[in-house]
Amino acid sequence: MFIYVSLILEDMNDKKIPLKFRLYSMVYPMRIFFKSLTNKVMGGEKMGNFNLEGKKAIVFGIANDQSIAWHIAKKLNDSGVQIAVAYQERAEQLVKPLLSMLKNPFAMKCDVVDDVLLTEFFGKVEKEFGKVDFLVHSIAFAKKEHLQGKFYDIDRRGYQVAQEVSSYSLAELTRRVMPIMNENGSIIAMTYYGAEKVAPNYNVMGVAKAALEASVRYIANDVGEKGIRVNAISAGPVKTLAASGISGFEQMLEHAREKAPLKRNIDADDVANLTLFLCSDMSKNITGQVVYVDAGYSVMGI
């Protein structure tokens, strides 16, 4: 941990790093240290609620301990699943300390827009794991300036980037995982209600999520004959790094809490629990679906 703190302090000399992030980076290693201590003392959440002992999963999308993908990886691991983590290089310092909380993880940097890294990653996973059972796609990206203002102001490149990272990547990752995926496997992607209805400021991400949800249905049809299932989880708003890029996110949280039948927000563990269900045999005849975990928000008309 001390080496890690000094690495962070070295980075602090860079004047371009905002103060908020500097403070966050200083507190982060301590938070992870105490979390990992508690994890050791408590011995993890043995078996979770589903026994997936002996299964293997690839998880894309861990940026820090708040990431939905981190909560999924941890819960899957606690249920007996060995995890291969694909993380972006820029998140390395925040992801590495988390790995000590997983049992026998494999982790490597990867980026869904980089063919060389993708080939290396899937090659290494095959070498380490042989076959895998689950693929978790928990990634999205759009420039901050495209998550505010008018949707039609988006430029061509901004639109392409959002689609490539947030939607096309599901087809790309599926194509690469298929040769090493066991029959009856499960692929899960993360989406949001802004794919169906207008959520102010969500803009280009709403359009990318609409494409992602349609991709889920087409891919489900492509891989169904191997018993492999593909589903999307439509999660209510959760405070994460990606969410903080959406203008007015705090109001989204408040609005969701007030309007939802259950009068509360969800958290990343709710998404992880649903992921476990969608990985398990309990959902063996569910595919091509968008499944909601949003405290009921999406059923409301007005």
Subset of 243-262 contacting ligand NAD (CB under 6 A):
243
Q: Are the beta carbons of 199 and 157 closer than 8 angstroms? A: no
Least gap, CB of 11 to ligand NAD (angstroms): 18
- Alpha-carbon span 237 to 255, nearest angstrom: 10
Q: Are the beta carbons of 226 and 255 closer than 8 angstroms? A: no
- Alpha-carbon span 243 to 111, nearest angstrom: 20
Closest CA to 78 of 113, 110, 132, 42: 42
Choose which of 77, 186, 215, 240 interacts with ligand NAD (CB under 6 A): 240
Residue 60 token pair: 């894309």
- Site membership for ligand NAD, residue 68 (CB under 6 A): yes
Beta strands in 148-238, from DSSP E residues, in sequence order = 181-191, 229-235
Q: Among the candidate windows 16-24, 50-58, 196-204, 230-238, which touches ligand NAD by CB under 6 A? A: 230-238
Least gap, CB of 81 to ligand NAD (angstroms): 19
- Site membership for ligand NAD, residue 190 (CB under 6 A): yes
Return the number of the residue (80 or 200) whose C-beta is nearest ligand NAD. Answer: 200
- Site membership for ligand NAD, residue 139 (CB under 6 A): yes
192 is known as an active-site residue: yes
Q: How far is CA 294 from the centre of its chain?
A: 16
Least gap, CB of 213 to ligand NAD (angstroms): 11
24 is known as an active-site residue: no
Least gap, CB of 130 to ligand NAD (angstroms): 24
Looking at 192, 193, 292, 297, which residue is catalytic? 192
∠ CA 72-141-7, rounded to 5°: 75
- Alpha-carbon span 228 to 183, nearest angstrom: 6
Catalogue the active-site residues: 192, 202
Interface positions with ligand NAD (CB under 6 A): 60-63, 67-69, 88, 91, 111-113, 138-141, 165, 190-192, 235, 237-238, 240-243
